[in-house]
Amino acid sequence: MNFKNFIPAVLAILGIQEFHQEKGRKVLTAQEKQKLTTAGFPAKFAEDFEAALNEPEASANPETESTDQRVAALTAVLAQTTNQLTVANQELATLKTKSTVDAATISAKEQEITELKDRIGILSDMAEPDNAPAASTAAGNTGSTFDLNNEQQLGGIEGVMFALNRPYNQRARAAIAATRGLSLMVAEASSVDYSTLQEDLGAFYRISWRDRLQSFLVKLPTIETIFPLESGFQDLATLVNVWLGEFSQADNTIGSNFDNVTKGNYDFGTETLRMFSVMFAHKFQNLAQLEKSWIGSLNREGSDPVKMSFVEYLLAETAKKLHNEREMRRVNGVRKNPNPNQPGRAMEAADGIYEFIRKKVDGHIDNTPDGGTTGKVVYQIKPFALPHITPGNIGEVLYLGTSMIPAHIRDTGTIACYIPSSLVPWYHKYNEAKYGLNQDYKANIMHVKEYPNVKLVPVPNADNHHRIIWTIEGNIKCFEQKAGEMLDFRIEQQDWSLKVWANWKESVWAEAVGYKYTNPAEMDGSRQLIWCNDYDRPDDFFIEGQPDANPSAVLHTSIVTGCNKAVKEIDDIEGAKIGVTVNIKCGPDGDNGVIIKKAGKFSLISAEWKPKTGDVISLMKRADGQFIEISRRTAAASAYMFPANETAPSVADATVFVTGENTKATEIADLADAITGTVYTIHGNGTTNASTIANAGSFSLTKDMTLVTGAFIQLVKADDGKFYEVARVELKA
């Protein structure tokens, strides 16, 4: 890094014309170093900067040397100083509200603000390139001038530090634009932005980018673009809404008393916002050992066992991971209260949008603003009875659902249809198949085709959902208590380890859902502002059940069992509804599997169920609490079947297969259309003429395989074109 790019900025911060000299060397005094620290620069910056002051000048040609780095340094410090001015103004406003503060304190704060304003003026002038044109250059200019129109990088300067997704760079750009008579709207500064700037500056001068550890963790796009974020909300905050009755009527003034013909009513309702408490807690240990194995040039602490440079890097990556987990949770989260002294799961820290809607449909205990409950189960959304969505009917489902919304709301142009992103390609293909031959057909439209006023908004990370949600744009929001609180890491050293933690509150909620009914039979859909279809996840999608516990059908009726510490006897299905089929799929089997005995609530099933991995039993709860067996099937029964007598069957579009009903001896010599790295499971079928696979040719097996009923083999294709055995269950023919 060229520290001399910072010389004008440092001079402006220190308020001096030139640096002090001692014995022929330029130096920073102790007071000046303290002033830089107060301005937000780490202590090591002052040391490195002072050393750079006395290095010989580079021999670069001044006519060809780019001014980008000098501009970048100045604008970064300009943004930092602007943040300090914002904080100082807030502190002054607070001081003026306190009657106990004396005039001298207020005067000192005003003097500080004046100095900051003067400093900003100096930096703003310095930040302009020496040869800046009168007007901003065109976007995409690759010259050395500062490209104010560049929407991706500050001034068009390359590098992560200068990206315009950094709020401090946005404010720097706005400040420079202001010197050119332009006005750009930017968000108010916050402490989080300030800490980000410090982190970026520190990393920039401390470690060359090419020497940094590389992480391939990609940040997920935020759903705040479709569900706006609002800060400053406490748990149990009250969101008030009003429902209006009918008011107008024919003129009835002649012969009527006023009080006899009045009509109309205002029903005030509330949404009690629940803010879920979430935390991050980690302990860094054995960092000295990690240094020897991994961090190498990252070590800047010598023999100190606490490697802060490495910790800083890891926390930067942790911030990305926390962001990704929150984005997934905002969609798929289901809050589960934690158990003391036991780590919880990320998806159980807070309710996401689909769980929020489910509770409003299926009923929930209403909260009161004082932290209690009404004790009553209330229902706020009456779902539309619509067909289950398939690629062949998705267009009809969207049309039918949208047409059921009251016309006086639907036709306002404010309604959006929130659809899982995985269903959008289905809708485009449906329209292409149905309307593709029409001359006026437009591909990939993002509105309900029959209702152009209703936008189609994809919800990311919702691949296992089929719930469609209609509501007014902006009604559903993301809420937080304090801006940036999730990344407000607290660090505490304990012996030779570091404890790091953060606490924050988050929620996804709607300002107006619907009138709260205690009897769902009374609902007619006229007093609600959110509409949806009557199911969420499809039956063929299985959610993961808790290990060592009975399956729960509260969230979904298809559950796959977890990895139990020992064989778990299922003696009930929690949350199962009377008359609704529940599908239980066996996950791990053997010592980690499950069993349902023909006893207790399952005394009516045909026989004991002791499944293998992939086996499914379908059950239905009766009014007396007993479960009726609807069906049971093995993993092979639900697999695709190879054609009979096929020696090179295709494995395209699936990974689980069963051999065909052969009429002659059949040896499988190859698997057509296989993908490298994919594991394929092949179940046996029958005994006479059962398919065989030899340990030869395209197959590398532990030994030859005969695929009779009850046997299976798992194979994976390698880059050399051969199929290698992963696992097998073998029976005698």
Report pLDDT digits (tens) over 124-133: 655 554 443 3
Q: List, in order, residues 6 or more apart from 216 with CB less than 8 Å away.
A: none
Tell me the pLDDT tens digit for each residue of 503-529: 999 999 999 999 899 999 999 888 899
**For residue 209, what pLDDT is reported?**
41
Predicted confidence (pLDDT) at residue 63 exceeds the cutoff of 60: no
Phi first, then psi: give them for residue 521, nearest 5 degrees. -65, -20
The predicted structure's pLDDT at residue 464? 83
Distances in Å between the Cα of 688 and the Cα atoms of 339, 661, 682 are 55, 9, 17
Predicted pLDDT of residue 4: 63
Query: Could you give the CA distance from residue 340 to residue 520 in angstroms, rounded to a whole number?
Result: 37
Share of the chain above pLDDT 90, in %: 39
Q: Is 194 left (phi over 0), alpha (psi -120 to 50) or beta?
A: alpha
Q: What is the pLDDT of residue 66?
A: 46
3-state secondary structure of 162: helix
Tell me how far apart the alpha carbons of residues 533 and 519 are, in angstroms, rounded to a whole number.
Answer: 19
- Is residue 134 predicted with pLDDT exceeding 50? no
141 has a pLDDT exceeding 70: no
Q: For the chain, what is the mean pLDDT?
A: 81
Q: How many of the other CB atoms lie within 10 Å of CB of 238?
A: 11
pLDDT value for 266 = 83
pLDDT band at 62 (very low <50, low <70, confident <90, very high): very low
Residue 722 is predicted with a pLDDT of: 93
pLDDT in tens, 573-608: 998 989 989 999 998 988 999 999 999 999 999 999
What's the pLDDT score for residue 88?
Answer: 77
DSSP 378: E
Looking from the CA of 388 toward its CB, the CA atoms found within 13 Å total 7
Whole-angstrom CA distances from 620 to 29, 637, 693 are 81, 21, 41
Comparing C-alpha atoms, which of 501, 457, 483 is closest to residue 226?
457
Question: If DSSP codes are grouped into helix, strand and coil, which group holds residue 17?
Answer: coil
Closest CA to 220 of 134, 327, 142: 327
Report the run of H or E that residue 375 belongs to, with start and end: strand 373-378
The reported pLDDT for the residue numbered 113 is 81
Environment class of 1 (CB within 10 Å of its CB; exposed 0-12, middle 13-18, buried 19+) = middle
Report the residue count for the chain: 733
**CA–CA separation, 287 and 307 (whole Å):** 6
Q: Are the C-beta atoms of residues 504 and 515 closer than 8 Å to each other? A: no
Rounded distance between C-alpha atoms, residue 402 and residue 390, angstroms: 17
Query: What value does the mean pLDDT take over residues 301-317?
Result: 68
Task: Inform me whether the pLDDT recorded for 690 exceeds 60.
Answer: yes
Q: Any bridge partners for residue 477, and if so which?
A: 509
Residue 98 sits at φ, ψ, to 5 deg, of -100, 125
| Token pair recorded at residue 1 | 């890094």
Beta-carbon contacts of 383 under 8 Å, excluding residues fewer than 6 positions away, are 361, 531, 532, 533, 534
Predicted pLDDT of residue 180:
67
CB 417 within 8 A of CB 397: no
Average pLDDT over residues 474-493: 90
Higher pLDDT, 476 or 542: 476
What confidence tens digit (pLDDT) does each residue in 368-418 have?
A: 777 777 888 999 999 999 999 998 999 999 999 999 999 999 999 999 999
What global pTM score does this model have?
0.58
pLDDT average, residue stretch 81-87: 70
Instruction: Return the C-alpha torsion angle 86, 91, 94, 95, nearest 10.
Output: -140
Q: Would the pLDDT of 123 be above 80?
A: no
Measured between alpha carbons, how far is 246 from 673 in angstroms, rounded to an integer? 65
Is pLDDT at 635 greater than 80 in this prediction? no
The pLDDT, as a whole number, for residue 40 is: 58
Question: Which of 650, 648, 713, 722 minimizes the C-alpha distance to 682?
Answer: 713
Please say whether the beta carbons of 470 and 506 come within 8 A. no
More confident residue, 194 or 731: 731
Contact criterion met (CB below 8 Å) for 42 and 204 = no
Does residue 318 carry a pLDDT above 80?
yes
Digit-coded pLDDT (tens) for 90-116: 777 777 777 677 778 888 888 888 877
Give mean pLDDT, residues 302-319: 71
Neighbours of 90 (CB within 10 A): 12
pLDDT reading at 73 higher than 70? no
What is the pLDDT confidence band of residue 19, given thresholds at 50, 70 and 90? confident
Provide the pLDDT for residue 599: 95
